[in-house]
């Protein structure tokens, strides 16, 4: 599986109840279209913008995709948008999740966190591995004694 993926409604459902998603659909787009897919697309685009502005990702994935490791904070961000739209107040746990997501994306946007570059199926992105990682620094007798 590629390391950059498109966020899905199933990802959003990990953060919201089906009732909350249904209420968002009922209260969503004024033109009668399903608002879930555009919300996921806009969120992916926003995450990609933050990644690009941070300058610590050497290869972006295909349009509409984000690093798999950022799907959870992206859905925390989406969750807050959905609940705001349907006038449901955020619980303390959800406020904390949103705050953590915003902190992660702020650090990414300011280049404080490197984001895994896109690597198609079967390839490995070692450009963001820590220096002490075996892929970046092969074990030598001297290193084993560190």
Number of domains the chain is built from: 1
Note the pTM of the prediction, 2 decimals: 0.81
Give which of 125, 96, 8, 106 is closest to 49, Cα–Cα. Answer: 106
Q: What is the pLDDT of residue 123?
A: 63
Q: List strand residue ranges (DSSP E) for 8-86, in order.
A: 66-67
CB neighbour class for 134 (10 Å; exposed up to 12, middle 13-18, buried from 19)? exposed
Over the stretch 64-101, which tens digit does the pLDDT of each residue have? 999 999 999 999 999 999 999 999 999 999 999 999 99
Q: Are 87 and 28 in contact (CB under 8 A)?
A: no
Rounded Cα distance, 69 and 54, in Å: 16
What does the pLDDT look like over 50-74, one tens digit per residue? 999 999 999 999 999 999 999 999 9
Domain limits for position 106? 4-121+128-144
């Amino acid at each position: 599986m590629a390391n950059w993926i498109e966020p899905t409604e199933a990802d959003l459902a990990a953060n919201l109840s089906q009732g909350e998603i249904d209420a968002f659909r009922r209260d969503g787009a004024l033109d009668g279209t399903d608002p879930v897919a555009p919300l996921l697309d806009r969120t992916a685009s926003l995450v990609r913008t933050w990644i690009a502005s941070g300058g610590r990702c050497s290869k972006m994935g295909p349009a509409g995709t984000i690093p798999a490791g950022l799907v959870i904070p992206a859905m925390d961000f989406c969750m807050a948008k959905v609940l705001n739209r349907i006038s449901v107040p955020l619980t303390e746990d959800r406020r904390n999740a949103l705050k953590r997501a915003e902190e992660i994306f702020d650090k990414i946007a300011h280049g404080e966190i490197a984001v895994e570059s896109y690597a198609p199926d079967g390839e490995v992105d070692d450009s963001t591995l820590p220096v002490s990682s075996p892929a970046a620094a092969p074990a030598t007798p001297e290193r084993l004694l560190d």
